[in-house]
């Protein structure tokens, strides 16, 4: 049962074997024996991926609670106080450009919670059981999850003060003469120029680095101008490291959402962390830095 619970939680026989310090074959054999005793399959495979059956999911959920109670009982008899771990998945850019700067504040507000951040551009997969919640950037139309809207986003040109002076950026059309960093957002430079009443050429050249954090680091190094998302550039604008050469912001179709599995778990630690993150993100989007 311990082998099955680990495989269900981690979504892999190999990962379960590593966590239990046994071989992958041992985990596979133990689960096969367990399925023989129960008389029905607990997992199904689809190509290389491993999924729990309906009965397997129900069994895994009950076992997870039982093992957690056993662990807590062990800690209690030793006199340890429980420290909760809340695992949040988010984009690398949000983790690097926004969340990292607020970890001291988080530790102050949640002294008994260890925050674990999984930074990935892939959508959080709650079926693995390794993620408690996620901050997603999109339109909120994801299946099989509960998504709470946090706030909308806008983009505006950002660069260093030195870049403005070096390239004499006095009017929006001056941006057509400098390096422009591009992103994979639907609303890009073409949309911004039209929003600023400038008719751009049909094709705008410039690099696309594939990650907003990398793009903003290049901009901070004085390499060009990018359309910065409010959440990702607010701190640097407040510190004066970046400036908006022109106060023209373009609303975009994507926003921020806090996502949990469906149905959402009634976990007090997760609920408290969710409220904290939502409040801080909204404050940043509304111009309150900190």
Alpha carbons 105 and 43: distance in angstroms, whole number: 42
Residue-range domain boundaries for the chain: 2-78, 84-146+254-285, 153-253
Cβ atoms of residues 274 and 133 within 8 Å: yes
Query: Would you list the DSSP string of 161-172?
Result: HHHHHHHT--SG
Across the chain, the runs of DSSP E, i.e. the strands, are 43-46, 49-52, 84-90, 113-119, 133-138, 145-158, 180-181, 225-229, 250-261
pLDDT reading at 289 higher than 50: no
Give 50 or 199, the one with higher predicted confidence.
199
Domain 2-78 has CATH 1.10.10.10: yes
Q: Which CATH class is domain 153-253?
A: alpha beta
Cβ atoms of residues 126 and 8 within 8 Å: no
Token pair of 60 as six digits: 């895994």
Cβ atoms of residues 200 and 193 within 8 Å: yes
Q: What fold is seen in the domain 84-146+254-285?
A: D-Maltodextrin-Binding Protein; domain 2 (3.40.190)
For 26, other C-beta atoms within 10 Å of its C-beta total 14
* Mean pLDDT of the chain, nearest integer: 88
Cβ atoms of residues 227 and 188 within 8 Å: yes
Same topology, domains 84-146+254-285 and 153-253? Answer is: yes
Give the predicted TM-score (pTM) of the model.
0.68
pLDDT in tens, 143-170: 888 889 999 999 999 999 999 999 999 9
Hey, is 31 helix, strand or coil?
A: helix
């Amino acid at each position: 049962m311990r082998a099955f619970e680990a495989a269900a939680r981690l979504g892999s026989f190999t990962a379960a074997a590593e966590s239990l310090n046994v071989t992958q074959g041992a985990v596979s054999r133990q689960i096969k024996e367990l399925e023989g005793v129960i008389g029905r399959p607990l997992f199904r495979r689809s190509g290389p991926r491993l999924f729990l059956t309906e009965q397997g999911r129900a069994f895994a959920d009950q076992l997870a609670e039982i093992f957690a109670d056993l662990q807590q009982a062990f800690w209690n008899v030793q006199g340890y106080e429980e420290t909760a771990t809340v695992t949040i998945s988010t984009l690398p850019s949000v983790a690097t450009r926004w969340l990292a700067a607020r970890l001291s504040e988080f530790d102050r507000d949640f002294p008994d919670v260890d925050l674990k951040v999984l930074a990935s551009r892939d959508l959080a997969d709650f079926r693995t059981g390794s993620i408690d919640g996620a901050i997603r950037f999109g339109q909120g139309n994801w299946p099989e999850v509960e998504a709470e809207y946090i706030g909308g986003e806008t983009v505006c040109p950002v660069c260093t003060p030195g870049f403005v002076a070096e390239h004499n950026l006095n009017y929006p059309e001056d941006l057509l003469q400098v390096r422009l960093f591009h992103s994979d957002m639907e609303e890009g430079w073409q949309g911004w120029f039209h929003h600023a009443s400038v008719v751009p050429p049909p094709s705008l050249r410039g690099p696309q680095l594939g990650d907003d954090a990398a793009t903003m680091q290049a901009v901070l190094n004085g390499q060009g101008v990018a359309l910065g998302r409010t959440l990702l550039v607010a701190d640097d604008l407040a510190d004066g490291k970046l400036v908006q050469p022109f106060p023209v912001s373009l609303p975009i179709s994507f926003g921020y959402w806090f996502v949990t599995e469906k149905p959402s778990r009634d976990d007090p630690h997760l609920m408290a962390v969710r409220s904290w993150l939502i409040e801080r993100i909204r404050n940043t989007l509304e111009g309150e830095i900190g």
